[in-house]
Amino acid sequence: MPHASGSLDGKAPDLSPRESGFWRDRPTLVTGSTGFLGSWLTAELVRRGANVVCLIRDWIPQSELLRTKTLDRVSIVRGDIRDREAVERLLGEYEIDTVFHLAAQAIVSVANRNPLETFETNIAGTWRVLEACRRSPNVKQVIFASSDKAYGDQPNLPYHEKMSLAGVNPYDVSKSCADLLASSYAATYGVPLATTRCANLFGGGDLNFNRIVPGTIRSILRGNAPVIRSDGKFVRDYLYVEDAVEGYLTLAEQLAARRSLSGEAFNFSNELRLSVGDLVAQILRIMDSPLEPVIQNKAVAEVREAYVASRKAHAVLGWKPSLSLDDALRRTVSWYRSFLATSGDVV
């Protein structure tokens, strides 16, 4: 692929990587592949012809990766991101070219209850993956999954990429620290790395029913009132998982073409701000349900308003969400309706 010059303020070049077979036979590592986003990303990489290696710590039978038999089409290495030597061996033996580092403890409530395990996985795990990448000459691009939570509680919104990282609560701090580590490895050692900071992801395959979208859909399908842990007025923005996957792949493709993107971070969001109460109301409307949500007002250690601007991703990468929130929610409802009926969870 030819090198494309251009500044971060310019338009993304017309590289057409999918038409040119960018991913075909490309040795690609995905950490966190059995997770929600990881399952979708791995499946799309396989579809595009990449030689995917999945580093897997826990065997999760309910994962979309297993359910769709995508794991039958990848190489599996059992291990932990905190084992730097194992990661380094994997990178060398499989001659990994591209790394997607997604593995993390991603549940805010778990982080509040068990901060040390979250810090070990999200911070120590990240520096060990980064160090392994630094020591592996075959690695040509690394995409690190940070989060909009890394920004913390900012006085001015929306979040943009030049804001300082200021997490306060355990999960947010873990993402702020890991994000800074990624920037350090890019700046100090020249690791070709770019960072994603996504809004709240949703879509089929998310089996953490404590999250608002899958939890609400399952409750309605069971005929139960959906539960809102907060007062319903917390404001967030959301991003459909397939649009997030496209953002990750586009960023990796562009980083391969433009090394000037190394060390840069990109927000990905649909930029549509909604209160949790309004999101639940929209799901109820889509599912034609008369149920009323139960407001528990128990949320603690969470930022009340958090949403990002994605102008940089639009201008530099040429990325935009492909689905409206309404269409994405309808697709998500359809997935859970089929999945839960097949599993016998609902009639």
The β-bridge partners of 197 are 267
Closest CA to 27 of 69, 66, 74: 74
Establish whether the linkage from the previous residue to 158 is cis, with ω within 30° of 0. Answer: yes
The residue whose two tokens read 């939570």 is 149
Give the number of other Cβ atoms within 10 Å of residue 258's Cβ: 23
pLDDT for 5-59, tens place per residue?
Answer: 334 544 444 444 444 599 999 999 999 999 999 999 999 999 999 999 999 998 8
Closest CA to 207 of 14, 40, 28, 2: 40
Active site positions, annotated: 171
pLDDT for 70-126, tens place per residue?
Answer: 999 999 999 999 999 999 999 999 999 999 999 999 888 899 999 999 999 999 999
Give φ, ψ of 282 to 5 degrees.
-70, -40
CA distance 33 to 39: 5
Domains in the chain, ordered, with CATH? 27-202+240-268 (3.40.50.720), 212-235+271-306+322-341 (3.90.25.10)
Give φ, ψ of 114 to 5 degrees.
-135, 70
146 burial (CB, 10 Å; 0-12 / 13-18 / 19+) is: buried
Note the residue count of the chain: 347
pLDDT for 197-249, tens place per residue?
Answer: 999 999 999 999 989 999 999 999 999 999 999 999 999 999 999 999 999 99
DSSP code for 308: B
